[in-house]
Amino acid sequence: MSNLKPDELSRINYTPPEEDWMAVPVQMRKGMYCHGASENSLTTVGFPNPRKWSSADTDWKLPDNWQEIVLKGMAERLEKYRSFHIFMDICVRCGACADKCHFFLGTGDPKNMPVLRAELLRSVYRREFTTAGKILGKLSGSRQLTEDVLKEWWYYFFQCTECRRCSVFCPYGIDTAEITMIARELLNLLGLNIEWIAGPVANCYMKGNHLGLEPHTITSSIDFLLDEIEEVTGVKIEPTFNRKGAEILFVTPSGDLFADPGTYTCMGYLMLFHQLGLDYTWSTYASEGGNFGSFTSNEMGKRLNSKIYAEAKRLGVKWILGGECGHMWRVLNQYMDTWNGPADFLQVPVSPITGTVFENAASTKMVHISEFTADLLKHNKIEIDPSRNDHYKVTYHDSCNPSRGMGLLEEPRYIIKKVCNNFFEMPENTIREKTFCCGSGSGLNASEDMELRLRGGFPRANAVKHVHDKHGVNMLSCICAIDRAALTTLMDYWVPGVKVIGVTELLANAMKMKGENDRETDLRGEPLSGAQDGEEKEDSEDA
């Protein structure tokens, strides 16, 4: 946790320095960056230039021809990605994106303005790949690729969470996430990753999930959750693993198995599927919904993602259900089918409970748990007692990726409004497609960069504080595993008294189960307040 008090950390100066940004060399401030990738992690997945190094050192042990590698990498990607090519050329620097980035709002560092973050790369692009840059030199805003520039890239492209908020406001849709993804690919060509990403990638590659949970650990983690469920509800659940012939394969981020409050969401899944009598299975091989590979390179993302379809095919399921996770759904919605499809061995998903055909997932054959659940609630297939959530005053945080890389905005809200009585929206410009990042996405949720995370999460926390002060909100709901971990830290620091909860946990609290006892507590063991009276209230502020 940062040594600075919230009062001090929120004293932010948005005025840029006098000196031109190109003249200001990068200053790596402790607390604002992560440890460099270890030799081991890179070797495991066969990444180039694995070595012992530290970003704090002056010598980064780059290969002799590192410039050539980077420039060749850029040239290749300019042809492979029209997005990258266009975004390098057409920015007019209007400044609309400047105050949209949570890292800029939290740090005041001008290089965290999306436009300047992109200019870090653009300046080199102009010099090496454009006529104007070659003729006009510095006048055109171009510069040479030096080691200082490379270090600046590393520092600032690991200070972007690929949240796409800037892209919403850009008149040409320039997406810094896309630029950051390419920049990170280039850095990876030199072995310049961060360990918080490279480690989980290696884990996921070898063991099937980011946390590196081995098969027997996965089952025992779930066994532990099953005991908890039995304690709260009296219901005994027996899920299956790696079972051939199941109708549905369920994939969720491994973070949900590991630490609370994610584990409560996981308990929610288990309870829901049991109550429905769903013919589904977990997999220990494809035991990761998230994809830190996608924070590394397109190829690594594809390599990790391949397990989901491979496992679905091996087990012979009909379709795949995906849990609550942010970037996982960016990947599933916009990349998976292109990478590893066509999934012609699967069938168009149909809810076995309601008969609803998920036409919008006709090709990927993968359905979001909130879509699945919203459909159940719409058809009244679950008995709900929303008063069991009356001890919570809930607001909802849209995760960046499901909102701006998918458009999953109403489904979770529909569920929340069905399963709890006290729901309050945060201010309009901080939710839905304009939602603020938790500050820890895209693999930046380490502990050594805590100041960065707290600063980046400041705009989100600030909006939560608003509804906390105004309506007494004490629960921040979300549909993302990184959120559940990151927002908890964020709330403890900025808005003490607000806890974080997955939408499926809220659902499980309110869901009446066959053979359950009289529930006295919620899944967290906290006493229910409104279990007896169960009055209906209309507190929703939603427009």
Which of these, 178, 72, 66, lies nearest to 118 by C-alpha position? 178
Q: Of 510-539, which residues contact other proteins (CB under 8 A)?
A: none
By beta-carbon proximity to other proteins, the closer residue of 69 and 409 is 409
Alpha-carbon span 134 to 437, nearest angstrom: 38
H-run or E-run covering 394: strand 394-396
Judged by CB under 8 A, the residue of 31, 63, 73, 110 near other proteins is 110
Judged by CB under 8 A, the residue of 34, 62, 124, 170 near other proteins is 170
- The verdict on 5 binding other proteins (CB under 8 A) reads no
Judged by CB under 8 A, the residue of 32, 105, 192, 276 near other proteins is 105
Site size toward other proteins (CB under 8 A) is 123
Judged by CB under 8 A, the residue of 58, 64, 139, 543 near other proteins is 139
Q: Of 456-515, which residues contact other proteins (CB under 8 A)?
A: 458-459, 462-463, 465-466
| Count of all residues that appear for the chain in the document | 543
With a CB cutoff of 8 Å and minimum separation 6, the contacts of 62 are 49, 147, 150, 190
- The verdict on 353 binding other proteins (CB under 8 A) reads no
| DSSP states along 88-105 | HH------TTGGG-HHHH
Q: Are 21 and 109 in contact (CB under 8 A)?
A: no
Judged by CB under 8 A, the residue of 47, 60, 81, 392 near other proteins is 81
- Using only the alpha carbons of the chain, give its radius of gyration: 23
By beta-carbon proximity to other proteins, the closer residue of 34 and 181 is 181
Q: Of 198-237, which residues contact other proteins (CB under 8 A)?
A: 205-208, 214-216, 219-220
Which of these, 142, 143, 154, lies nearest to 183 by C-alpha position? 154
| Backbone φ/ψ region at 245: left (φ over 0), alpha (ψ -120 to 50), beta | left
By beta-carbon proximity to other proteins, the closer residue of 145 and 312 is 312
Judged by CB under 8 A, the residue of 210, 302, 417, 484 near other proteins is 302
By beta-carbon proximity to other proteins, the closer residue of 99 and 516 is 99
Judged by CB under 8 A, the residue of 28, 56, 75, 362 near other proteins is 362
Judged by CB under 8 A, the residue of 128, 385, 433, 448 near other proteins is 433
Sign of CA pseudo-dihedral 398, 400, 403, 408 = negative
- The verdict on 314 binding other proteins (CB under 8 A) reads yes
> Of the ranges 14-22, 259-267, 390-398, 473-481, which one interacts with other proteins (CB under 8 A)?
14-22
Amino acid in the structure at residue 36: G
Q: Of 51-80, which residues contact other proteins (CB under 8 A)?
A: 78-80
Which of these, 162, 101, 51, 114, lies nearest to 443 by C-alpha position? 162
By beta-carbon proximity to other proteins, the closer residue of 69 and 310 is 310
Residues 488-525 as b or e (16 or more Cβ within 10 Å = b): bbbbebbbeebbbbbbbbbbbbbbebeeeeebeebbbe
Judged by CB under 8 A, the residue of 371, 398, 449, 483 near other proteins is 371
Q: Of 372-431, which residues contact other proteins (CB under 8 A)?
A: 374-375, 378, 403-411, 414, 427, 429-430
By beta-carbon proximity to other proteins, the closer residue of 233 and 333 is 333
Counting Cα atoms < 13 Å in the Cβ hemisphere of 408 gives 33
